[in-house]
Amino acid sequence: MDNSLIVRFSLSQEWITEKEAVVFGVFEGEDIPCGLGFRKETAEREARHLFPVFSAVKHYCSHKDFSGKFGETVAIYPENVLYKRIILCGLGKKEELDDEKLRQAAAGAAAFAKKMNAGKVSFTLFGAPTQDATARLRAIFEGAALGLYSFDAYKKEKEDASRKLKKMEAVEFLLPEIMEESEVAEEKNKLDKYIAIAEAVYFARNLANHPASVVTPKFLADTAQALSKLYKSITCEIFDKQKLIEMGMNGILAVGGGSAHEPMFVELVYKTPNENAPTVALVGKGVCFDSGGISLKTANGMDEMKMNMAGAAAVLGAFFTAVKSKLPVNLVALIPAVENMPSSKSYRPGDIIKTMSGKTIEVINTDAEGRIIIADALYYAVSKYNPTHLIDLATLTGTCIDALGNHYAAVLGNDDALIRQLIESGVATGEKLWMLPMDDVYKKQIESAIADVNNTGGKRSAGTITAALFLKEFIGEHKSFAHIDIAGTAMLPEAHGYKNKGGTGFGVRLLTEFLERLK
Ligand code: BES
Ligand code: ZN
């Protein structure tokens, strides 16, 4: 799998030279490009050079064809300017611009430049007065890089070629001309870090978008193992079916039993040399395809269930990004990987599974499979590592989409501080979370007359909450657990801003940010 960003990203201080396309931001109601981030006393040469640009923008805006409304994008072609095209990107009201809007604006401008056939696009670091140069660089980079993602691995004729478009090859960010070398080097380090994070998002998107015939449990395990070989600080263990039997991971075995692709369990461990570092265990749901099993889903939309491993993809992406940047945090990533298929070997409605924890599950519906495999992973995480923080990411319930749609994931847990940290990381990255109550008042719904719990929550109402309560049954006395239901955010029915249709890689940036803030 090639997870490179396709487009090359760089920093430049060269303003006074020919350029194919340069993007400027304009606030609603204003008629000059905003926030170039120059320091007044040093920007004379640039200012003189940009004077014709400013007057062209002013002239253009005076016609009222463009008002700087958020999402509005136009190209102008002024004379006496070294730039072939100037792309004006509407930023909306100054006081409303935040990092997330900036990401979206940058994605819109990058897509626009691509459509205009530009082989290279240069971004000025526009933004709100409250956003410093680094925040602008990060948001504009993320918007452009993530917005330019496309998945055409299986197209004979690639999209660009079929539309006779020149391939966009490079994006540069314009820093002040006289910025010191050491300061530029600092920004370059930051950009490299952002590139690594964006590559992890591409990685997670690709894993979700490749079909289930390719991304099997073994493929997930092999991918994790291959990546782990790149770092001495990681150990990787893969449990095959035999090992799962020995370990008593009967939840994973039951759900994966119906498929010719045998279930696997991936255990990745990263140890920081820092003493007294927290240990974070991340569990990612890895259902490579979810037909529903014997409780077969209807045909409509079943194809999307190749993405039911998006939690696993995000956990892997975040894990390797954290390792790459040597975060001072101990990390454990656990991936139960299965395919949920109907066959004579499948588990059935009515079956009772004795999980690794010893607790039993009455299977009411084999389509509520995610919680069963995560149950074993959570128990394993707590009993082996007793982590300071325990977090799982899962495309777990359709009812989460009923509640929050595609723009917020649900977070539930037993530690308010952990939940708050996660929500704040979501705000910072644009991977937003909304808390639902993991309150025992709903517990009656997961009771079973003949086993310790049932696997459906009895009825559809409060389905996301009862799924979380189910998971809580398997964490023992653990006091810092959060469950993140990404059913609506991991895959989009249509593109939105810098998020493409299909797998979005949701969770990679959220978890990376959370881990960064922990250190
Ligand atoms: N993977 C699904 C949940 C899902 C649905 C994710 C749509 C993304 C988009 C999960 O395995 C599932 O099938 N859940 C059932 C549970 C029910 C049977 C209790 C659901 O939500 O319908
Ligand atoms: Zn299911």
Mean pLDDT to the nearest integer, 432-454: 98
Rounded Cα–Cα distance for residues 328 and 342 (Å): 44
pLDDT at 42 over 80: no
Structure confidence at residue 167 (pLDDT):
80
Q: Which ligand is nearest to the CA of 410?
A: 1
- Per-residue pLDDT of 224-234, as tens digits, reads 999 999 999 99
Structure confidence at residue 41 (pLDDT):
46
Mean pLDDT to the nearest integer, 263-286: 97
The region of weakest confidence among 112-116, 251-255, 283-287 is 112-116
Structure confidence at residue 159 (pLDDT):
63
Angle at 265 between CA 335 and CA 248, to 5 degrees: 125
CA-closest candidate to residue 310, choices 154, 511, 463, 155? 511
Mean pLDDT to the nearest integer, 235-260: 98
CA-closest candidate to residue 353, choices 504, 205, 237, 473? 473
Residue 44: band (very low, low, confident or very high) from pLDDT cuts 50, 70, 90? confident
Cβ 492 under 6 angstroms from ligand 1? no
Rounded Cα–Cα distance for residues 439 and 415 (Å): 12
Strand 234-239 vs strand 264-270: parallel, antiparallel, or unpaired? antiparallel
Q: How far is the CA of 225 from the centre of ligand 1 (A)?
A: 29
pLDDT at 347 over 80: yes
Q: Using DSSP, state whether 60 is helix, strand or coil.
A: helix
pLDDT at 158 over 90: no
Q: Are 372 and 468 in contact (CB under 8 A)?
A: no
- Per-residue pLDDT of 459-501, as tens digits, reads 999 999 999 999 999 999 999 999 999 999 999 999 999 999 9
pLDDT at 243 over 80: yes
Mean pLDDT to the nearest integer, 362-380: 98
Cβ 272 under 6 angstroms from ligand 1? no
Mean pLDDT to the nearest integer, 243-253: 98
At 503, list the tokens: 């797998």
Listed in sequence order, the residues at least 6 apart from 427 whose beta carbon sits closer than 8 Å to its beta carbon are none
- Beta-strand (E) ranges in 359-486? 360-362, 389-394, 409-413, 433-435, 453-454, 481-485
Rounded Cα–Cα distance for residues 120 and 125 (Å): 16
pTM (two decimals): 0.96
Question: Which one has a higher pLDDT value, 312 or 131?
Answer: 312
The region of weakest confidence among 30-44, 79-93, 218-232 is 30-44
Matching residue, tokens 């930023």: 91
Structure confidence at residue 165 (pLDDT):
64
Name the residue of 363, 364, 367 whose CB sits within 8 Å of the most ligand 1 atoms, as the mutation to test its pocket: 367
Cβ 308 under 6 angstroms from ligand 1? yes
pLDDT at 37 over 80: no
> Cα-atom radius of gyration of the chain, to the nearest Å?
25
Which of 14-23, 37-46, 362-371 is the most confident on average? 362-371
Cβ 262 under 6 angstroms from ligand 1? no
DSSP notation for 193-243: HHHHHHHHHHHHHHHHHS-TTTS-HHHHHHHHHHHHTT-TTEEEEEE-HHH
Structure confidence at residue 133 (pLDDT):
86
Give 264's strand partners. Answer: 337
- Per-residue pLDDT of 159-198, as tens digits, reads 666 666 678 899 999 998 888 999 999 999 999 999 999 9
Average pLDDT of the residues of the chain = 95
pLDDT at 39 over 60: no
Rounded Cα–Cα distance for residues 62 and 56 (Å): 10
Mean pLDDT to the nearest integer, 11-23: 94
Q: Which residues of 305-329 are buried (b: 16+ CB within 10 A; e: fewer)?
A: bbbbbbbbbbbbbbbbbbbbeebeb
Structure confidence at residue 160 (pLDDT):
61
Whether 297 is catalytic: yes
Query: Which residue's CA lies nearest to atom 3 of ligand 1?
Result: 397
pLDDT at 300 over 60: yes
Catalytic residue among 297, 324, 354, 359: 297
At 252, list the tokens: 């994973």
Structure confidence at residue 35 (pLDDT):
67
- Per-residue pLDDT of 411-424, as tens digits, reads 999 999 999 999 99
C-alpha dist (Å) from residue 321 to 73, 217, 274, 464, 479: 33, 22, 18, 29, 26
Q: Are 433 and 422 in contact (CB under 8 A)?
A: yes
C-alpha dist (Å) from residue 354 to 16, 240, 251, 378, 454: 70, 19, 7, 15, 12
Q: Which amino acid is at 316?
A: L
pLDDT at 1 over 80: yes
Give 352's strand partners. Answer: 362
Q: How far is the CA of 278 from the centre of ligand 2 (A)?
A: 33
Cβ 370 under 6 angstroms from ligand 1? yes
Rounded Cα–Cα distance for residues 388 and 75 (Å): 52
Strand 433-435 vs strand 502-503: parallel, antiparallel, or unpaired? unpaired
Mean pLDDT to the nearest integer, 252-263: 98
Mean pLDDT to the nearest integer, 218-246: 97
DSSP annotation of 162 reads H
Rounded Cα–Cα distance for residues 145 and 143 (Å): 6
Structure confidence at residue 177 (pLDDT):
85
* Kind plus residue range of the DSSP H or E element containing 421: helix 416-429
Residue 43: band (very low, low, confident or very high) from pLDDT cuts 50, 70, 90? low
Mean pLDDT to the nearest integer, 272-287: 97
CA-closest candidate to residue 50, choices 69, 28, 26, 33? 33
